[in-house]
Structure 1
Amino acid sequence: MTFLDPKIWTGLVFDGGWTASRAGDAPVVEPATGNELGRAGTVGADDVAAAALRARQEQRAWAATPYEERAAVLRRAGRLFEEHAQEIQDWIVRESGGVPGKAAFETHVAAQECYEAAALASQPLGEVLPTSRKRLSFARRVPVGVIGVIAPFNFPLILGIRSVAPALALGNAVVFKPDQRTAVCGGFSIARVFEEAGLPSGLLHVLPGGPEAGQALVTDPNVPVISFTGSSAAGRKVGEAGARLLKRVHLELGGNSALVVFDDADLEPAVSAASWASFFHQGQICMTAGRHLVHESVAEEYVERLAAKADALPVGDPATGQVALGPLIDAGQRDRVHRLVTDSVSAGARLAAGGTYDRLFYRPTVLAGVPAHAPAYAEEVFGPVAPVMTFSSLEQAAALAADSEYGLSLGILTRDVMKALALADLVPTGIVHINDQTVDDEAVAPFGGVGASGTGTRFGGPANADAFTDTQWVTVQGDVAAYPF
């Protein structure tokens, strides 16, 4: 039996062991072919409530476990991601439609997230504070209790493990709802890793489900903190529901990031970077460059080169061929992408490349002369579409880049890095990459956006301790203080 053999998980969910769900199961579908790869258990509100209660009951013992033991579990988890990388990657390719290189990146980052989390377990827990009285005063970080994690389909392994691993390392239990469309590669792979790593039973629950399960997790009284990654529309609903219950809700949401190309940029590497920024994983990435802002003096050549690059990229089944782009996740997403493209052409944009599809395989698309009101420019597309608009000055580029409700990532291509820094100062955004494109992530780096892209830095590096612990003030004195009452 292999690591992710369907015999292990068919019709089941994970609560420290593999158990039947009260809500039945759902098909695991390969978007490239439409074939059913298996059937995964799916949960409803009752399953979520039972998992949250058990997680709360088991968490205190885990928080009291010596940090060496918690760190050892996380280190073993990292090694297991490496040992079983090929099998997990095969599932990422088939279940999410990612190309093999994208799948390899996911398993690499998943292992790194576990290793960084293992180191987090032994970090200092607080600081000694000054006090005006004769006592010891200090602040310390304590585990929250139960963390609810909700992750999407596009980078299902990374976007799940980046919350699961640090939350566990810091002494919390986790109830994790992966997207039903990537239940195996984005959910059960994490369950299997921690099962084999020796995580005590009941601390991690992996419960694929739909909106009902997500709502139940967000509103459950035993889950004080929610870590949500998904669309801005869904994130607003999660934030509203959590706020009514005075919960801490970490939101990493959508984006419509700008890639700014100045007139002094070398266009050959610039177009290569731009293609990656808009077409990698079919554009189904929150950091995708959804707006190409190009200096007017080089825009015509840029569009010509970008369109040629798009036309040359092979699109097809990543499990059977050497392709650059695989399928979109489902027909609903394909139809939305195509509607945004056709509506933008109707609004005045010129179709320079792409704009067609076969089944779920959408050709990489370049739109030139895009007006600001064109939907493919103004909205997050979440597809392989590169809208191009021109600018004439740094000030105009900054105004265009800042003219969005989103603020996740900004790429700036120029030989003048001081000019790039001056531009970055004028654009509200959580991430800036100078002389690189917009899509990047590292386990050691803080990650998050502003505006409709989320509630600021919530993952990576020191941000993990902020996200998954509470700060507690403690004072200690030798005798009971005297008061006038």
Structure 2
Amino acid sequence: MTFLDSAVWGGKFCSDGWRHSPARQPVTEPATGDRLGTVGVATAEDVDPAAARAAEAQRAWAATSPQRRAAVLRRAGELFTEHAAEIEDWLVREAGSVRSKAGFETGLAIGECFECAALPAHPQGEVLTSEDARWSLARRRPAGVVGVIAPFNFPLVLGLRSVAPALALGNAVLLKPDPRTAVSGGVVIARIFEEAGLPAGVLHLLPGDGAVGRAVVEAPEVRVVSFTGSTPVGRAIGERAGRLLKRAHLELGGNNALVVLPGADVARAASAGAFGSYLHQGQICMTTGRHLVHESLVDEYTAALAAKADALRVGDPAREDVALGPLIDRGQLERVHGIVTDSVAAGAKLAAGGEIDGAGYRATVLTGLTTDMPAWREEIFGPVAPVVSFSTTEEAARIVNDSEYGLSVGILGDVGTAMRLADRIDSGKVHINEQTVSDEPNAPFGGVKASGTGSRFGGPAANVEAFTETQWLTVRPDIADYPF
């Protein structure tokens, strides 16, 4: 039996052990439509008992010694390493990842676990001054039960980056992965922590539809909600969580800009731009969705980028050596093509691509755009690179900021000019002489404006802030005197 053998999880979800579910759905390979298995689906009615059990188990887990919690996280990292090849196969087949992206994602998962293994030993508060004769402490305590709702695009790491720190800091977790990637974004995580020695009842895997997600948000035991996904859904979750006085950490969409400054190396810039726009078929919140190129370089850059796009093969990454795999489903494929064709109808020009290719989409370059066209203003979530020119850095800053999103920006060229431009940009992340897609477990991650509620993931400070509550504690040597 393999680590992810369907005999363990087929037709089941994990809530205090693997449980058979009367509701089931196929696990489908987007490149071929083939069935890879059948996963058990939770219903909204399954959430409340899971949340109650999680709250019960959380108390004992929070009381577990820091070294014991750290050992579970370290063992999880080791298990990801031991089973990396099998996990990568699932990321390729279920999520449509090309092999290099699957390896990168698994590597991030390994790093996330090892990074979070240090959290139990991280300082959990501070000593405060006090006007009275007492000790005054601000201490961090686990939030309790954390609801994690994760997307399909990087299903493993975008779920794990909330699950791992929440567990390390003594919380219990309800995990609801996207039903399209319930194995690579859910079963994998549940199996890893099961084998790593996490006590029963601390982590619950609840694949399901939007009703399950709403039930997770509304469960009284859930005190913190961590959501990664689209901005419209994030707004709804944030509104509901606010009414229930719960914290919601929202990592949402992006329409990220890559700025190519005058004098930049065009060949290297086009390579960076192609990677930023076409990695994982553009299905990344940090994807380069807008290319702003100085007017002195725009023609040369566009030609170089189009040549890169034309050279990228589209196909089935499980059976071919390709650069682009399938989009996650037919609906997303048609949406991407619709944005491209609508923009062309409005006057944009195709320099490359613009065609459906089986279950995938050809790497596309668009020119002749105005900033009100859909390919420029919308988050496409597909392999499309719109290009416009600018004349001054002031104009570049204005165009970059003229977006509802503010997640990631790359600036290529002279570092001094780039630094001055970076100071004028509204974005959660700025990368000088890099494209827009970058992530490390120890670095803060998040966006501003419609891209979310700021840096709530990555690094000890962000993770402790996200998944704990602050309690003020005072201590006197004797009972205080009072005037009553």
Q: CA deviation at 1:167?
A: 0.3
Q: CA deviation at 1:8?
A: 1.1
Q: Tell me the equivalent position of 2:344.
A: 345
Q: CA deviation at 1:21?
A: 2.7
Q: CA deviation at 1:418?
A: 1.6
CA deviations 1:323-360 (Å, max 9, x no partner) are 00000000110111011001111111111110101332
- For 1:469 and 1:245, the matched residues in 2 are separated by 18
Q: CA deviation at 1:288?
A: 0.4
Find the residue that maps to 1:201 and give its secondary structure. coil
CA deviations 1:269-301 (Å, max 9, x no partner) are 110110000000000000001000000111011
- For 2:152 and 2:48, the matched residues in 1 are separated by 23
Q: Tell me the equivalent position of 2:376.
A: 377
- For 1:376 and 1:284, the matched residues in 2 are separated by 15
1:377-396 equivalent positions in 2, closer than 5 A:
377-396=376-395
**TM-score, normalization by structure 1:** 0.99
Q: Tell me the equivalent position of 1:297.
A: 296
Q: Tell me the equivalent position of 2:329.
A: 330
1:68-467 equivalent positions in 2, closer than 5 A:
68-414=67-413, 416-461=414-459, 462-467=461-466
Find the residue that maps to 2:334 and give its secondary structure. helix
Amino acid aligned to 2:441:
A
Q: CA deviation at 1:50?
A: 1.3
Q: In 2, are the aligned partners of 1:21 and 1:47 still within 8 Å (CA)?
A: no
Find the residue that maps to 2:455 and give its secondary structure. strand
Q: CA deviation at 1:106?
A: 1.0
- For 1:421 and 1:151, the matched residues in 2 are separated by 34
CA deviations 1:100-148 (Å, max 9, x no partner) are 1100111111011111111111111111001111000011000011000
Amino acid aligned to 2:228:
T
Find the residue that maps to 1:483 and give its secondary structure. coil
Amino acid aligned to 1:417:
V
- For 1:19 and 1:337, the matched residues in 2 are separated by 38
Q: CA deviation at 1:15?
A: 1.9
Q: In 2, are the aligned partners of 1:450 and 1:456 still within 8 Å (CA)?
A: yes
Which moved further from structure 2: 475-484 or 218-227? 475-484
Q: In 1, are the aligned partners of 2:315 and 2:358 still within 8 Å (CA)?
A: no
Q: Tell me the equivalent position of 1:12.
A: 12
Q: Percent identity?
A: 63
- For 1:168 and 1:213, the matched residues in 2 are separated by 21
Q: CA deviation at 1:6?
A: 1.1
- For 1:406 and 1:60, the matched residues in 2 are separated by 39
Q: Tell me the equivalent position of 1:34.
A: 33
CA deviations 1:223-269 (Å, max 9, x no partner) are 01000000001100000110000000000000000000012110111
Q: Tell me the equivalent position of 2:472.
A: 473
- For 1:189 and 1:226, the matched residues in 2 are separated by 21
- For 1:349 and 1:299, the matched residues in 2 are separated by 15
Amino acid aligned to 1:10:
G
- For 1:183 and 1:71, the matched residues in 2 are separated by 26
- For 2:146 and 2:86, the matched residues in 1 are separated by 28
Find the residue that maps to 1:281 and give its secondary structure. helix
Q: In 1, are the aligned partners of 2:112 and 2:160 still within 8 Å (CA)?
A: yes
CA deviations 1:185-229 (Å, max 9, x no partner) are 111000110011010000000111110100100111110100000
Amino acid aligned to 1:187:
G
Aligned residues: 483
Find the residue that maps to 2:318 and give its secondary structure. coil
